[in-house]
Amino acid sequence: MSDRTILVVGTYDTKQDELGYLAEVIRGQGGGVLTMDVSVLGDPVAPTDISKHAVAEAGGSSIAEAIASEDENLAMQIMARGAATLAARLQAEGRFDGVIVLGGSMGTDLALDLCAALPLGVPKYIVSTVSFSPMIPPERLAPDVQMILWAGGLYGLNSVCKASLSQAGGAVLGAARAVEKPKRDRPLIGMTSFGKTVLRYMVTLKPALEARGFEVAVFHATGMGGRAFEALAAEGAFAAVMDFAPQEVGNHLHGSAISAGPDRMTNAGRAGIPQIVSIGCYDLVDLVGWHEVPEHLRDRPAHAHNRLLTSVVMTPDERRAMARTLCERLAGARGPVVFLLPTRGGNEWDREGGPLCDPEGLAAFVDELRAQCPANVTLVDLDAHINDPAFHDAALAVIDGWIAEGVVGR
Tens digits of residue pLDDT in 252-304: 999 888 888 899 999 999 999 999 999 999 999 999 888 888 888 888 888 88
**Single-letter amino acid, residue 160:** V
Q: Which fold would CATH assign to domain 5-178?
A: Rossmann fold (3.40.50)
Neighbours of 143 (CB within 10 A): 19
Mean pLDDT of 143-156: 87
Whether residue 36 is predicted with pLDDT greater than 50 in this model: the reply is yes
pLDDT band at 182 (very low <50, low <70, confident <90, very high): confident
Strands (E), 330-391: 337-342, 377-382
Q: Which fold would CATH assign to domain 188-405?
A: Rossmann fold (3.40.50)
Q: Can you say whether the dihedral through the CA atoms of 355, 227, 184, 394 is positive or negative?
A: positive
Neighbours of 178 (CB within 10 A): 10
Q: What is the spatial distance between Cα 196 and Cα 355, in angstroms, rounded to a whole number?
A: 17
Mean pLDDT of 207-232: 93
pLDDT band at 1 (very low <50, low <70, confident <90, very high): very low
Residue 102: beta bridge partners? 127
Burial class (CB in 10 A: 0-12, 13-18, 19+), 396: middle
Find the DSSP H helices in 344-388: 359-372
pLDDT digits (tens, 9 = 90+) for 313-344: 999 999 999 999 999 999 999 999 999 999 99
Domain boundaries, the chain: 5-178, 188-405
Q: What is the spatial distance between Cα 384 and Cα 294, in angstroms, rounded to a whole number?
A: 33
Q: Matching CATH topology for 5-178 and 188-405?
A: yes
Whether residue 151 is predicted with pLDDT greater than 90 in this model: the reply is no
- Mean residue pLDDT of the chain comes to 93
Residue 310: beta bridge partners? 287, 304
pLDDT at position 298 is 85
Mean pLDDT of 41-61: 95
CB contact at 8 A, 36 and 59:
no
| pTM of this structure | 0.85
Tell me how far apart the 2 most distant CA atoms of the chain are, in Å. 71
Whether residue 2 is predicted with pLDDT greater than 70 in this model: the reply is no
pLDDT at position 81 is 97
Q: What is the spatial distance between Cα 96 and Cα 147, in angstroms, rounded to a whole number?
A: 19
CB contact at 8 A, 126 and 145:
yes
pLDDT digits (tens, 9 = 90+) for 91-106: 999 999 999 999 999 9
pLDDT digits (tens, 9 = 90+) for 79-91: 999 999 999 999 9
CB contact at 8 A, 273 and 335:
yes
